[in-house]
Structures are given as C-alpha cells and as structure tokens.
C-alpha cells in the first residue's frame, strides 16, 4: 500500500478533481508542497479555483493525461475500470488509490485524527466541532462535506496535530480511515442499495469502532438501540451522550428561542453543571449533535467557555436549514434532509420557527431509498401542513418502473393527509405563488436539485 507522507511531497494526479471532497484534498496536498494535477469532465467554479492556485487541470479524460512523472493516482468511486486514464495508470504500474483510502492515508499524518460518523448530522457536527477547535485556537485541518463560512469552503489547512473529517458509511468508506477519535451520532437504515439491512449497517459501524487504537476515544449516542453491542470488546475510552437515555453528557431545561434555536443546560455524569448552552441552529436534533461535540471537546481539555463560544458562533452550513430569502412575505428555507429521520427532525424543528403555515416541497432521493422506507417517508412528511412532491431524483440509479412520487403521495393520503404531486418544477412554482401567503414558511427539501425551486422564487 502506497503511504502518503506529508513530509515527503510527490506528484499526485486526481481523476475527478472537481468533486467537493477530491478538490479539498487536492488543495491540502498542494499546500503541503505536493505537485498536484488532475482531470474532470467539465469546467466548474471548483476547478477554476484549483487552477488559480497553480494546480494543472485537464478537461476530458484520455490515456495521454497519465504521464511518467506521476507518483500516485487518486480516483473516485464514480471512475470505472474501463476509464482510459484508469487503464493507462494500470499499464504504467503507477500506484492507485480510491478517494476514501487517500483520506485514510492523510489521517495517518495527524496525532489527533477525528472521524465524525452517523447516518445523519455528520456535516453539522463536523462544523460544530470545527468552530470549537477554531475558537480554542487549536489550528485544525478540517474536511467537511458542505460549505462552512468559517473556513470559506469545505477544507481548512491547519498546522497542528488536529485533523477533523466526516466519516461516511456508504460503501464502507469509513473502514479505510485511521481515526484516533470517533463520534457516532446515530445508526439508521439507509443506503439500502449497498447495505442489506439495519444489521448490516450496525456491523459496519461496529467494524468502524475497531479501527480505534487503545489510547483512542469513542463518543457514542446512548440513544442508539442496544448501543452496548457496538462498543463491546473495545479497549479504548468510551464516552456517551444522549437525550433519552442515561449518558455522561445530556441536557435539561431545553427550550427554543424566537428563531427556534436551541437553549439547554448541560448535565454531566448526572449533575446539572449550571452551564447554559445557546445554539445558533434550530431543532432538538442539533442539541444532540452539540452534546457530542461538547463531549469530545471536553476530552481534549478545551475550556467550557470556548466550547460555548464556538457553538454559538456556528450558524449552520449550506443546505442545512439554510435561509434563502423570501417572496411575497413567504420565508424560504432549503434543507438537505433526504431520510425520514432527518425530514421528521427538520419539520419538527420548523414548527418552532415563526410562521403561519408550513409548506414542504420534497424531492425523494433515489428509487431504492424511497421504496425501502416508503411508510417512514409518509409519516415523516405528515409533520408538514402542506406537502408537495416532485419526481424522484434518480442520482446513481435507473428507474425500475415500480416506484414513483405518486406511490408516496398515495401512502401519505392513507394517513389522512393531503399531498400534491407535480412532475415539473415550473408547475410547483406556479402552485406556490398562487397558494402561499404572507407569513408562511416554505422548505425545499431533498438531496437533489429541489433547491432551485426556492432560489427561483426568491429571485
């Protein structure tokens, strides 16, 4: 296995360099003195930014791009073995590694390598923890799966022994990591196009915990059903947090301010600490996320005053209950929620946000997820007063012909709730312009391009 050593730069070629994660690590290696170049199918804001740093970007992927001076090729899961660059690198015998392996290799260069995992909340919690470490002047290197204003992007290159990254379970990517500290936020049934069932997912998270060294630390949500099974046999330190169960870090006197932002008193080892934590993000789910960040920050001896300042400074990331503006007095918010647990948490949080009527435009993400969790989607969406469904966003899948947004509409109606379905975004916009009134709250929701609806209305 090729080992990336930040103290010994070499020449690295990124296939698919314009991706959000790939571009971040291209910047990281470039900043550490590596010669970085790469290819992508088309020019974008990201590739233009990389080029402005002096990184050589090639558009289109041909065998000629793979030159003899390249020491390592990094590729994404979207690159197939019949790709001409992939085949050329193999023929030349150049070491190759998939993106997740590269992230793991980079983690090996840091004493404190923190991997934040869970079916939901990874980006938010990574951002919360990043804010705390920045406030405490820990100078962390950060890789986050969204755009974080505090670091003006998705990557921050620090000069300390602290590395903070999201750790995604899809395709078992996080099993290629080398963490010394982990957070497990939750474990739900998702990505069922890859995992067989919830037991298969739990098994992967269990394997993830086994990556921790004896002197490492695991922060885990005690509200996860039978979480003890996940931590059994571990020799590292385990710290628990939660809202419903007995845990080392929990919350009491929970309230929400006029914007729906969470306020709570921290409880540690069963004792009220008297520390009131004020968040700048909405919802009970974000109180749980904050507890995990508090637990890990406390483990690293960050003073509570700096933890509180860091959490208060975090006002959310792109596409996580992101305020987009308004039209005709209607407030427009966009949210990335695409799993029933996330949808329910966001809609329940939205109830605390000032509004007359709550509208949710939902775009299901992938056929397999919609089919597997159909009843759960219907129940979660029923927490909105008015539900509008767009067509399923296929993402990586082909239409199987046996599941559609109309199927979900029928399931919602079985719960005694009305739902509207439109196959065209323009029809959705016309319907909203006609029916939303001054003081309403509109949430566009999903991991696809549904965000365009709200943005167009605001324009």
Q: Which residues on adjacent β-strands are paired with residue 112?
A: 162
Angle formed at CA 374 by CA 369 and CA 378, multiple of 5 degrees:
125
- Phi and psi torsions of 442, nearest 5°: -115, 125
- Distance (Å, whole) CA 347 – CA 417: 15
Beta carbons within 10 angstroms of residue 354's beta carbon = 10
Distances (CA, A) of 417 to 115, 314, 353, 409: 40, 36, 22, 9
- Phi and psi torsions of 199, nearest 5°: -65, -35
Report the relative pairing of strands 441-445 and 419-421 from DSSP bridges.
Answer: unpaired
Q: Is 122 a catalytic residue?
A: yes
Helix axes 20-31, 45-52, angle to 10 degrees: 0
Query: Could you tell me if 249 and 266 are in contact, meaning their C-beta atoms sit under 8 angstroms apart?
Result: yes
- Distance (Å, whole) CA 159 – CA 156: 10
Q: Is 417 a catalytic residue?
A: no
Which of 340, 349, 361, 332 has the alpha carbon at shortest distance from 450? Answer: 361
- Distance (Å, whole) CA 300 – CA 351: 36
- Phi and psi torsions of 242, nearest 5°: 170, 170
The catalytic residue among 123, 126, 346, 366 is 123
Helix axes 451-458, 425-435, angle to 10 degrees: 50
Distances (CA, A) of 166 to 174, 210, 247: 9, 17, 23
Query: Could you tell me if 265 and 273 are in contact, meaning their C-beta atoms sit under 8 angstroms apart?
Result: yes
Q: Is 123 a catalytic residue?
A: yes
Local structure of residue 195 (DSSP, 8 states): S
Q: Which residues on adjacent β-strands are paired with residue 15?
A: 39, 75
Dig out the tokens for 219 from the structure: 């922060």
Q: At which residue do the structure tokens 């990574």 appear?
A: 126
Q: At which residue do the structure tokens 């990586």 appear?
A: 396
The catalytic residue among 125, 138, 165, 166 is 166
The catalytic residue among 27, 122, 308, 429 is 122
- Rounded to a whole number of angstroms, the distance between the first and last alpha carbons of the chain is 51
Which residues have a catalytic role annotated? 122-123, 166
């Amino acid at each position: 296995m090729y080992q990336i050593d930040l103290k010994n730069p070499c020449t690295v070629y990124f296939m698919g360099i314009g991706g959000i994660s790939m571009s971040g690590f291209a910047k990281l290696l470039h900043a550490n003195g590596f010669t970085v170049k790469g290819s992508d199918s088309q020019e974008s804001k990201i590739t233009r930014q990389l080029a402005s740093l002096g990184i050589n970007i090639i558009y289109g992927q041909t065998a000629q791009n793979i030159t003899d001076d390249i020491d390592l090729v990094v590729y994404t899961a979207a690159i197939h073995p019949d790709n001409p660059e992939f085949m050329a690198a193999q023929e030349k015998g150049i070491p190759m590694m998939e993106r997740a392996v590269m992230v793991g290799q980079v983690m090996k260069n840091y004493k404190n390598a923190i991997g934040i995992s869970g079916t939901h909340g990874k980006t938010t919690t990574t951002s919360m923890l990043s804010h705390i470490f920045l406030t405490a002047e820990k100078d962390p290197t950060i890789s986050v799966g969204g755009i974080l204003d505090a670091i003006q992007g998705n990557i921050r290159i620090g000069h300390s022994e602290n590395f903070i990254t999201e750790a995604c379970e899809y395709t078992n990517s996080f099993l290629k990591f080398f963490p010394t500290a982990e957070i497990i936020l939750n474990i739900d049934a998702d990505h069922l196009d890859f995992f067989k069932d919830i037991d298969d997912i739990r098994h992967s998270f269990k394997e993830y915990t086994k990556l921790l060294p004896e002197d490492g630390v695991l922060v885990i949500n005690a509200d996860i059903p039978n979480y003890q099974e996940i931590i059994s046999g571990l020799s590292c330190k385990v710290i628990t947090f939660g809202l419903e169960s007995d845990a080392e870090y929990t919350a009491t006197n929970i309230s929400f301010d006029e914007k729906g932002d969470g306020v709570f008193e921290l409880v540690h080892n069963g004792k009220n600490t008297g520390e009131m934590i004020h968040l700048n993000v909405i919802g009970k789910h974000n109180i749980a996320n904050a507890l995990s960040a508090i637990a890990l920050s406390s483990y690293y001896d960050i003073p509570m005053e700096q933890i509180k300042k860091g959490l208060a400074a975090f006002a959310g990331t792109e596409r996580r209950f992101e305020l987009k503006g308004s039209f005709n007095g209607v407030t427009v918010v966009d949210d990335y929620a695409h799993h029933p647990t996330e949808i329910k948490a966001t809609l329940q949080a939205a109830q605390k946000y000032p509004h007359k009527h709550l509208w949710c435009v939902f775009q299901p993400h992938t056929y397999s997820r919609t089919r597997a969790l159909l009843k759960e989607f219907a129940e979660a969406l029923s927490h909105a007063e008015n539900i509008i469904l767009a067509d399923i966003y296929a993402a990586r899948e082909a239409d199987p012909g046996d599941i559609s947004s109309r199927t979900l509409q029928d399931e919602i109606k079985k719960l005694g709730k009305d739902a509207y379905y439109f196959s065209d975004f323009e029809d959705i916009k016309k319907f909203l312009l006609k029916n939303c009134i001054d003081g309403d709250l509109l949430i566009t929701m999903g991991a696809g391009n549904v965000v365009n609806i709200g943005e167009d209305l605001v324009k």
